[in-house]
Amino acid sequence: MTEHTQNPLNHPEVQLANGRAYLVSFILSMLLTTAGLWLAITHITTPFGTVLVTSFLAGAVVVIQGYFILHMDISHAQIWHTVAMVLFLPLFVVTIGLTAWMFHGLYQRTMLMPPGASDMAQMSHPPHERTPS
85 binding other proteins? (CB under 8 A): yes
* DSSP letter for each residue of 63-98: HHHHHHTS--S-STTTHHHHHHHHHHHHHHHIIIII
Size of the site for other proteins (CB under 8 A): 60
Asked if 126 touches other proteins (CB under 8 A), the answer is no
| CA–CA separation, 129 and 60 (whole Å) | 43
Among 75, 90, 99, 122, contact with other proteins (rule: CB under 8 A): 99
Minimum Å distance from CB 121 to other proteins?
A: 14
Where does this chain bind other proteins (CB under 8 A)?
A: 1-2, 4-5, 8-9, 11-15, 17-19, 22-23, 25-26, 29-30, 33-34, 36-37, 39-41, 43, 47, 50-51, 54-55, 57-58, 61-62, 65-66, 69-70, 77, 80-81, 84-85, 88, 91-92, 95-96, 99-100, 103, 107, 111-114, 117
